[in-house]
Amino acid sequence: MELIRKYPKLFQWLFLLSVFFTLCFAIDVPETYKFIRGQAEFVKDPNQSTYIFLGKEVRYFAFDNFWRLPPLLGWLPIWINDGLFFLLNEWMPMEFWNEDTQEFKTRPLVLQITRNITAFMTFLIEFIREILLGGVETIVAFSSWDWIDKNPWAELPGLPWTIVAAGATILSYKLSGKGLALFAGFTMVYISIFGQWKPSMQTLSFILVAAPLSFIFGLSLGIMAYKSKRVEKALYPILLVMQTMPQYAVLVPAMVLFGIGDHAAVIITMVVAIPPMILLTILGLRAVPPEVIEAGKMSGCNNWQLLFKVLIPTARRDILIGVNQVIMVCFSMAVIAAFIGAKGLGWNLLLALNQLNIGLALEAGLCISLIAILLDKMSLAWANKQEDYFGNLTFFQRHKNFIFFVGAVILGLILAYSGSFIFKDTFNYLFEIPHNKGISTAGFWNKGVDWIFDTFFVYIKAFNTWLITEVLQPMRGLYLRMPAVATLVLVIGAGYIIGGIRSAIVVGSLALFIAFSPWWDRALVTAYMATFGVIASMIIGVTVGTICVQNKITTNFMLGICDIFQTFPSFVYLIPVMMLFGITDTSVLIAVIVYATIPATRYTIEGLRGVPVALHDAATMSGVTKFQRLTKIEFPLAFPHMMLGLNQTIVFALFMVIIGAFIGTEDLGQYILKALSDKQGGGKGLTLGICVAFIGLIFDNLIRTWVDKRKKHLGID
């Protein structure tokens, strides 16, 4: 009795686990059970049960309700699909003026709106693309084809690559100094020499449209949420789900609404990039000291002046960090959006991966990573840049960079023009190096891959087989062996023990949603892959983090590495693992582990480093050894922050598991990917995405609740 009173939580956990295992052993696997592949609603089978909800028939294989819950939400995807279809094709038909045919045409409102947005986006992308690469569509949009035919001088070529490179270098120098300028110059020259100029500029033009639009929308929504509690309450759940939703899942509904192509890619990128911008805007505005706001009010600011002259400039840094996040999401999406036809490096990367041309994929991946790192560093430098006072500078000093840029433009134009004489018979390398005329290392890499395969095939294969048969298959079996009821009890019980009745209800309803969807089995597979990845990542991350934090140099080195790795678009991770392990579950899992180790390491380092120096000194003075200090002082204090790291690790792992579906897995991700090529995929893609998001949110809720309590208990913020 005394023990129970001393460790009440421990006994609650023990009780929960015993209930869980009792349920697991008490409920047998039904004889008819086989892994549900989820296509229940298509294959007609006399053994299926059916029910009809809101006029939609749902077919499914019924089992004992304790073993697997019936898919009571099976109608949801169909219903979303029909809803989308109805909105797009039937709702509110109206007369619209058609420019091309010069007549009024009847069209449903939503269709007209989406087409207008599409036209606008396409125009923006074309406009920037033509500045960078040349073309006439924008000029035509303001004149006509006839006009262009009569005035051939208006067919302007794009900017020579030398000018863009010089521009990037000068801008980097202004933002951060010599180091970044050097990197910018190197990146641009590399891209050009390796013949990736055109796809790079396509990707860049796509980002130059998506990022500013996301910024404007995110900032405005963030301000609205800051001003009005009601807006914030309405936005918050959406933001939460969007943060954990795999980006694949949004592809399909966007495709239904906006078709395929660069414009759809921009829209979907905005959908993904706006939430972090909103969050950081709110965060930044909240962090403005109340006295500064009061000072603004007492200076006689009206609401607009207060917003634009006091609040936003004071929150500048957080808002610019938001811009940085937006840019990073845009790069990540530049590859994923290639699935719905975004041109550029992502498209090339996807194509190369599909052909298993690892060398080409590596080149494209390297390019996109380099540009991503460059833009990341540039936007971060902008965020951290303190304004200088320009009052007493001469005209030249003040406009130094601009003058240099003008000089670079003139020089670049001269070079490009003279290039047209030097390279008369071939391509004008001083203007643009064509895609297939650059240096290519693809052959070398492909040979390298072949060599690795030839040399290490036996070992890799042995490791692969061992991992799959000895670890992965049994683990997967165990996960699938769990009766649905037992899993639900475990989740709800954990919620109750950690956060009380409120948490139990939240996580319980999230889990029930998945259990009632037609994809419970697949969700279990997703969960198993994520679990494996998270455990491995945490072990590696915590160990590496703990070792690195012992020394200042290694700490900064490791954080730098984390920064760079985090900048890589997620898809890039698949390239090296496919190189080494081919197309297996192992590849996916290794990509997951590498990707999810980043937050695990980073949060460990940050947590341990955040332990107050005074405590360090106090511990040293009480004569502890280094090891004692680590276990008795540093770990307990850093633990809450490390748990937040676990939270991030789970999100990252889930994310990569879903992306791994590209290689081929049997989980939710595979279905999301399938939904892309499915006419009725919109609703399915979205529902599947929500399922994945909910898996993430269950852990998010549990961990956050625990951390908050623990932090309060320890008295640290």
Partner 1 sequence: MSDAVIKCESVYKIFGANAKKMLQDANGNVDAQTFQKNGCIVGVNNASFEVSKGEMLVVMGLSGSGKSTLLRCISRLTDATDGKIYIEGQDLLSLKDKELIELRRSKMGMVFQSFALLPHKTVVENIAFPLQIKGIKTEDSISKAMDMVKLVGLEGRENYFPRELSGGQQQRVGIARSLAVEPDIWFLDEPFSALDPLIRKEMQDEFLRLQEKLKKTIMFITHDFDEALKLADRIAIMKDGIIEQLDTPANIVLNPATEYVKKFTEEVPREKVLIIEDVMDAPTTENLSDIKVSKDEIIENVAEKILTQEKSVNVIDENNKIVGTVRPSKIIHTVFGGRKNNS
- List of residues contacting partner 1 (CB under 8 A): 289, 291-292, 294-295, 297-302, 305, 309-310, 313-314, 316, 386-387, 389, 391-392
Q: Which of 152/300 has CB closer to partner 1? A: 300
Question: Shortest gap between Cβ of 175 and partner 1 (angstroms)?
Answer: 17
Distance CA(280)–CA(260), nearest Å, equals: 30
Question: Shortest gap between Cβ of 397 and partner 1 (angstroms)?
Answer: 15
Question: Which three-class secondary structure state does DSSP give residue 175?
Answer: helix
Q: Which of 305/441 has CB closer to partner 1? A: 305
What stretch of H or E contains 526?
Answer: helix 520-548
Q: Which of 301/356 has CB closer to partner 1? A: 301
Relative orientation angle of helices 681-714 and 484-516, to the nearest 10 degrees: 120
Question: Shortest gap between Cβ of 301 and partner 1 (angstroms)?
Answer: 5
Q: Which of 302/397 has CB closer to partner 1? A: 302
Question: Shortest gap between Cβ of 219 and partner 1 (angstroms)?
Answer: 17
Secondary structure percentages of the chain, helix, strand, coil, to 5:
75, 5, 20
Question: How far is the CA of 297 from the CAs of 109, 286, 289, 446, in angstroms?
Answer: 44, 16, 13, 65
Type of residue numbered 487: T
Structure tokens at 299: 């200076």
Distance CA(35)–CA(15), nearest Å, equals: 30
The pairing of beta strand 103-108 with beta strand 93-98 = antiparallel
Q: Which residues of 510-537 are buried (b: 16+ CB within 10 A; e: fewer)?
A: bbbebbbbbbbbbbbbbbbbbebbbebb
Residues comprising the chain, all counted: 717
Q: Which of 298/553 has CB closer to partner 1? A: 298
Residue 289 burial by CB count (10 A; 0-12/13-18/19+): exposed, middle or buried?
exposed
Question: Shortest gap between Cβ of 383 and partner 1 (angstroms)?
Answer: 13
Q: Which of 44/229 has CB closer to partner 1? A: 229
Question: Shortest gap between Cβ of 227 and partner 1 (angstroms)?
Answer: 15
DSSP state of 438: S
Q: Which residues of 41-50 are buried (b: 16+ CB within 10 A; e: fewer)?
A: beeeeeeeee
Q: Which of 241/301 has CB closer to partner 1? A: 301
Q: Which of 55/289 has CB closer to partner 1? A: 289
Question: Shortest gap between Cβ of 287 and partner 1 (angstroms)?
Answer: 12
Q: Which of 37/309 has CB closer to partner 1? A: 309
Q: 342 φ, ψ to 5°? A: -75, 130
Question: How far is the CA of 419 from the CAs of 162, 199, 426, in angstroms?
Answer: 12, 22, 10
Cβ(656)–Cβ(592) under 8 Å? Answer: yes
Q: Which of 310/498 has CB closer to partner 1? A: 310
Distance CA(614)–CA(352), nearest Å, equals: 55
